Structure 1
């Protein structure tokens, strides 16, 4: 149900290059003050004396909404001490108790009296290209949403009204140049083509968000989440008598609290003797792949991400089922996780194992069954970890690793030794217990013919 008791207007012109069936797009200059007018247009309860409004800048695209917190944290690191959204208090009128929480740098709030019109001037200090993988300039930048959520100034607050609009932010004077470019392009079009586009309006009327589509837990100006999961009915003809509508889903960002997944327990030396390695089916190395099932629930997806070393993305995908994650294309994953991790996650989802750089086959002297040890990184530490995994002990229990050299000398395994170890070499393993502790020295004896 729509609430026609309030109205929000952004005093900035809409683009003339917006088609009739699309939501309006407004261009802003970075750091320039723009007025947001708030006024009562209908009846409010008599006991409502003051209202509290929260203005925020959120991402328009769904892929960025999923990783909003990471994007904002990255921006904060690059520009410490700065805010994405400011309220220009000296220019604002009819507002009081202006608050700009340093932890929510993309939002600000203020109190106003609905019996009088209020005017809040906002400044957006980031530009659209700061959140694109490649910096092409303003035209290739990502769109934002300016959203205003209004509540009663009571305890607890009651949600009254929400509205938003789509914007792009350019470097200073960039919005003016973009408007000029759009006008010139429209002038070159035929009259028939011009009828397919909306006219440009001097002001942007924020499109109301129906209250029943807002979750009840969000009905608070102190909510830490940066955007609502709402459907926006976009007004395609601002400030005119007729309009067309379009449904656009605005997805919520993930919860700030990461999903915690219990790590797999390590079998201690008291449970499995170093002298009795497990069967090949029990030996687990980091190269073992467990394909993600489409039937996996959100908890199982989180566990799979942890096992495949994607723990940084557990929170982003915390509401995804296995089918949801498998539906994402390689390009989607690169946009969400970045180039390197996106390719790696796509390979894991497609069950593409990484070819090891060094493969060793080890067995106990008294056995004829070999176990494969795969090294993706040619370091002594990686070899130590793989051998510890093979024998189900903690890596701290292995003091050093030696390779038996000519005349049965013991050569300490270093990174350089690992790099020069022949691929597919066969070794017998001997564990020597340290007299002063429960730790071991590992000796690898080559089984190759001299």
Structure 2
């Protein structure tokens, strides 16, 4: 049965009431901890600790194999919908200054410091391997009280929604990435990395004004393939049960639900022209960002620097020109990492060097872009204009020695007709048919199949003729 916040502040349920456990659970009896001795009770204030303004509860069991000094860990199945109950304290609900609607932002981010340093590469690599998929989704049909859910394509790991603190709010989330996708293969198998499920709550305000932050909390999770979380919980339970009695006391008591712990708000990444990447101050000092969000505050202006507009990076490119080239080719997230590289420095890097710097997906893409070759067209024809034979002929400037190169990529009659119309200075909408002069001077309709069978680098003479009783034309190609 769901618990909702319809009671007074002092009647918020205890952990044992909110998260009922089995008959053998230790939640029914107080733990004999040293700081609860009778002689220390006088020094403890008589008033109850203040109740938090907000509380988020993930309906998923915590692991029984976590020691007391460690943070609680929750196992989730990939793609399974899990309920997150959004609870609000009665004093905040009843306050006149409390807004009618609140905005919450939910993120799945890395807990590992090493992965926080390479978060953008990890996200881009996941996007490359799983095109069209998201890391975090809202199961809208199951959710209750969730308004205006937003799942932006540019932010795969973030969802936003509005909710009314005076009504029941139950959010159902789905995590589609698994922990082992971000773990390098090692001897003896893979060990999945933990994620943080982080929620920030704000007062809803106008889009022009910055939202006022109210509360933040998070919990530690690991995501397994379908049914993998259930097997992992069973394995952990058996592991603890095999321990001696004195060793079992070192582990936390597992709960059927996970309470988010309060933490600082998730910081927005600000990039300045002189801000070095520096070490992270805390495990919460970075977040997964999309290339679109990073490009909104580039460290260098996107205008042309030094008047260079070439698409290819030249060895003589300066540092600003190299930064501009990286922005133009969608490598903005690596501009800070390559801030001191000139064109020569970048071109000297090998394929393996770029993979180590940018990761497999973007490293290969950067290597191919640096050494990009001109696109080879599928068919190339050489066409000249025929001398005018009639007074109403369109061709006026005839040069028998002038040929125009026409390159085709789609190998279609429509593409060839458009290129010929441009060459003959005719409106494309006035050309009705395209013919090829065959044996004996017969006219053969040029279909897509005929165009596909034309020999590469063939020579033709083109002429535009008026269609009788019409303003249109038809084109005739004669092979030389």
Q: Normalised by the size of structure 1, how large is the TM-score?
A: 0.51
- State the distance in 2 between where 1:34 and 1:300 align: 38
Does the 8 A contact of 1:259 with 1:302 survive in 2? no
Q: CA deviation at 1:69?
A: 2.0
Partner deviation per Cα, 1:33-63 (whole Å, 9 max, x = no partner): 0000101025335231110111111111122
Q: CA deviation at 1:336?
A: 7.3
SS at match of 2:76: strand
Identify the residue that residue 284 of structure 2 maps to in structure 1. 250
Does the 8 A contact of 2:111 with 2:283 survive in 1? no
SS at match of 1:22: coil
Matches within 5 A, 1:187-206: 187-206=241-260
Does the 8 A contact of 1:56 with 1:107 survive in 2? yes
Partner deviation per Cα, 1:100-155 (whole Å, 9 max, x = no partner): 11111111111110112310000001111111122889960111110111111112
Could you tell me which of 156, 166, 170 is aligned with 1:115? 166
Does the 8 A contact of 1:261 with 1:303 survive in 2? no
Does the 8 A contact of 1:129 with 1:136 survive in 2? no
Q: Go from structure 1 to structure 2 and tell me whether the alpha carbon gap of 1:252 and 1:79 turns closer, same or farther (over 3 Å shift).
A: same
Identify the residue that residue 302 of structure 1 maps to in structure 2. 339
Identify the residue that residue 9 of structure 1 maps to in structure 2. 57
| 5+ long unaligned stretches in structure 2 | 1-49, 271-278, 307-334, 364-480
Q: Go from structure 1 to structure 2 and tell me whether the alpha carbon gap of 1:259 and 1:62 turns closer, same or farther (over 3 Å shift).
A: farther
SS at match of 1:302: coil
Q: Normalised by the size of structure 2, how large is the TM-score?
A: 0.48
Bigger mean CA deviation after superposition, 168-177 or 77-86: 77-86
Could you tell me which of 99, 117, 121 is aligned with 1:66? 117
SS at match of 1:89: coil
- State the distance in 2 between where 1:184 and 1:309 align: 54
Q: Go from structure 1 to structure 2 and tell me whether the alpha carbon gap of 1:205 and 1:112 turns closer, same or farther (over 3 Å shift).
A: same
Q: Go from structure 1 to structure 2 and tell me whether the alpha carbon gap of 1:300 and 1:206 turns closer, same or farther (over 3 Å shift).
A: closer
Does the 8 A contact of 1:31 with 1:125 survive in 2? yes
- State the distance in 2 between where 1:101 and 1:300 align: 27
Q: Go from structure 1 to structure 2 and tell me whether the alpha carbon gap of 1:337 and 1:197 turns closer, same or farther (over 3 Å shift).
A: farther
Write out the 4+ residue segments of structure 1 that deviate beyond 6 Å after TM superposition: 135-139, 298-301, 333-336
* Residue 89 (1) aligns with residue 137 (2): no
Does the 8 A contact of 2:56 with 2:260 survive in 1? yes
Number of residue pairs matched?
Answer: 263
Give 1 or 2 for the bigger CA radius of gyration: 2
Matches within 5 A, 1:91-240: 91-134=142-185, 140-155=191-206, 156=209, 157-210=211-264
Q: Go from structure 1 to structure 2 and tell me whether the alpha carbon gap of 1:299 and 1:107 turns closer, same or farther (over 3 Å shift).
A: closer
Q: Go from structure 1 to structure 2 and tell me whether the alpha carbon gap of 1:174 and 1:18 turns closer, same or farther (over 3 Å shift).
A: same
Q: CA deviation at 1:194?
A: 0.8
Q: Go from structure 1 to structure 2 and tell me whether the alpha carbon gap of 1:299 and 1:103 turns closer, same or farther (over 3 Å shift).
A: closer
- State the distance in 2 between where 1:138 and 1:186 align: 22
Does the 8 A contact of 2:184 with 2:190 survive in 1? no
- State the distance in 2 between where 1:201 and 1:306 align: 57
| 5+ long unaligned stretches in structure 1 | 220-228, 232-247, 266-297, 313-332, 343-450
- State the distance in 1 between where 2:65 and 2:82 align: 21
Q: CA deviation at 1:96?
A: 1.1
